[in-house]
């Protein structure tokens, strides 16, 4: 619908379509000039500064439209002539100026910053390394990446998704490193999304993962440094407006074992940390299942004196071992779920109930044996080593599957479910790359930064499975000779 020549008609039309929404402010400066903005997303200061200065101080008599457009003290000034577009601009924090007798309107950016400042990441804290994290502010997020990589090949490609939310999504990649086929593949997927609204990056992630698997195939992070290292390795990042979580594609298994902190500490110490995380991954999935298998099927594998200890502990406990373990694994998950959603003030109550009452009292009441509490504690602590929430949930589900398998078949069940588990893990694919790369398929050169981390000067190559532009740095070792 075209704009009308009369400002009164235009403004009335907008008010009518929005059912006189309470945050719409209109003002007529004279009979010939009127403007409209949303007080909820615009900054009053900016409006008075830009508009009133331009209009009131200059007070032009003739050629109103041209003079105002010229004199406006703002770098983001546009003209529009479609009445339906007006509200999109208003919602983005623009002020729209109508001038009597003109079929075009002037829009001026008067957006107010509706966000918190750049804060420390709560979800992915590190001991050493940059502390800043992404916020809900889109330009700021882009800025956080831009200030780390000052390269003209760092591209941000924008797409708007969402019928109603019109969320801005920026695809970030480094043009001469990233595999452009994969970038196009991602663009295709995004363009095909037809949805009411994208509220958070989680909405997008569902569309990016074609097959349903428990394990995350997209890295979600709040840390700009992780995004930058990923981009430099040839990965692609998606920044979603209003979401502090940035998605990185493709996410492989090994990325969840690594931490951005790994590159800020001494290499061989990091090797130990990574090994620890890998061991934790195995422990947290298998330990309760192994316990059940040993206790109820394969007692011959327990050493003499331990067996007598365990029997003594089990004495008088009315439930089967399996139920004991399963119920306490679930009790821990309840505690964790409750802890996430309780405000920090009530947090201490949870820990008292959890640690003292459930742990100690359950043992002295003779409902569970102390060893089960130890098993569950080891399992749940090992689980919390990982950053990614999806990884934690995946591990939890598999743990319960392992437990169920051993309840029925003991160690044989354990082996069967292990085979299923490994087969599943190997057959996952993200953007055409198998999940366990570079372990299988094997990229031996990449093993320098797999579990063992070599010093950075020896990591001269980017991963071959992500990029064709492999050389990352000149060979320091050779240059020295």
Residues near another protein (CB under 8 A): 295-297, 299-300, 304-305, 307-308, 310-312, 314-317, 320-321, 404-405, 407-410, 413, 416, 420
Alpha-carbon gap, residue 25 to 35, rounded angstroms: 8
* β-pairing verdict for 429-430 and 433-434: antiparallel
User: Comparing C-alpha atoms, which of 26, 40, 60, 165 is closest to residue 110?
Assistant: 40
Alpha-carbon gap, residue 113 to 262, rounded angstroms: 34
Task: For residue 197, give the 3-state DSSP assignment.
Answer: coil
User: Comparing C-alpha atoms, which of 145, 175, 179, 138 is closest to residue 159?
Assistant: 138
Chain mean position to CA 319: 41
| Encoded tokens for 385 | 């080593």
For residue 111, the cross-strand partners are: 42
CA angle 80, 86, 91 (to 5 degrees): 130
Task: For residue 37, give the 3-state DSSP assignment.
Answer: strand
Q: Are 10 and 83 in contact (CB under 8 A)?
A: yes
Q: Are 221 and 124 in contact (CB under 8 A)?
A: yes
Cβ contacts of residue 433 below 8 Å, gap of 6+?
250, 252, 465, 466
b (16+ CB within 10 A) / e for 86-113? bbebbeebbbbbbbbebeebbbbbbebe
For residue 34, the cross-strand partners are: 28, 98
Alpha-carbon gap, residue 217 to 200, rounded angstroms: 17
List strand residue ranges (DSSP E) for 262-310, in order: none
User: Comparing C-alpha atoms, which of 60, 61, 14 is closest to residue 35?
Assistant: 14
Chain position carrying tokens 């309760």: 288
Helix pair angle (201-208, 180-191), 10° resolution: 110
Cβ contacts of residue 360 below 8 Å, gap of 6+?
none
Alpha-carbon gap, residue 91 to 109, rounded angstroms: 11
Alpha-carbon gap, residue 15 to 187, rounded angstroms: 37
Alpha-carbon gap, residue 244 to 137, rounded angstroms: 8
């Amino acid at each position: 619908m075209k704009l009308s020549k009369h400002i009164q008609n235009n403004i009335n039309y907008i008010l009518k379509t929005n059912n006189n929404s309470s945050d719409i402010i209109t003002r007529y400066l004279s009979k010939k000039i009127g403007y409209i903005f949303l007080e909820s997303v615009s900054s009053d200061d900016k409006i008075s500064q830009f508009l009133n200065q331009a209009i009131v101080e200059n007070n032009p008599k003739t050629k109103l439209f041209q003079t105002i457009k010229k004199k406006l003290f703002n770098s983001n000034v546009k003209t529009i002539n479609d009445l339906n577009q007006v509200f999109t601009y208003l919602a983005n924090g623009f002020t729209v100026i109508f001038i009597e007798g003109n079929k075009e309107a002037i829009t001026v950016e008067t957006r107010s910053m509706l966000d918190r400042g750049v804060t420390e990441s709560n979800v992915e804290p590190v001991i050493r390394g940059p502390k800043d994290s992404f916020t809900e502010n889109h330009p700021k997020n882009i800025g956080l990446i831009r200030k780390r990589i000052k390269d003209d090949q760092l591209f941000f490609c924008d797409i708007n998704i969402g019928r109603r939310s019109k969320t801005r999504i920026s695809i970030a990649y480094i043009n001469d490193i990233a595999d452009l086929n994969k970038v196009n593949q991602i663009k295709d997927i995004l363009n095909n999304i037809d949805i009411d609204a994208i509220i958070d990056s989680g909405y997008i992630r569902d569309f990016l993962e074609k097959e349903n698997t428990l394990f995350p195939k997209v890295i979600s992070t709040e840390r700009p440094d992780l995004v930058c290292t990923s981009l430099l390795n040839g990965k692609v990042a998606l920044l979603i407006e209003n979401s502090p979580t940035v998605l990185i594609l493709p996410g492989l298994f090994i990325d969840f074992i690594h931490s951005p902190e790994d590159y800020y500490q001494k290499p061989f110490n990091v090797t130990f940390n990574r090994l620890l995380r890998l061991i934790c991954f195995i422990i947290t999935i298998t330990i309760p299942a192994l316990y059940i298998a040993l206790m109820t099927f394969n007692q011959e594998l327990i050493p003499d004196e331990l067996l007598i200890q365990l029997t003594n502990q089990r004495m008088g406990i009315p439930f089967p071992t399996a139920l004991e373990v399963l119920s306490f694994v679930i009790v821990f998950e309840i505690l964790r779920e409750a802890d996430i959603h309780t405000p920090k003030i009530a947090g201490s109550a949870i820990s008292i109930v959890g640690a003292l009452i459930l742990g100690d009292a359950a043992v002295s009441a003779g409902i569970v044996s102390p060893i089960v509490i130890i098993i569950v504690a080891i399992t749940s602590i090992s689980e919390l080593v990982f950053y990614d929430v999806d990884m934690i949930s995946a591990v939890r589900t598999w743990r319960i599957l392992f437990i169920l398998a051993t309840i029925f078949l003991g160690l044989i069940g354990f082996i069967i479910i292990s085979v299923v588990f490994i087969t599943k893990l190997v057959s996952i694919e993200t953007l055409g790359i198998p999940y366990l790369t570079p372990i299988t398929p094997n990229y031996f050169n990449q093993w320098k930064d797999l579990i063992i981390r070599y010093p950075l000067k020896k990591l001269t190559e980017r991963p071959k499975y992500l990029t064709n532009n492999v050389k990352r740095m000149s060979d320091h070792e050779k240059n020295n000779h």
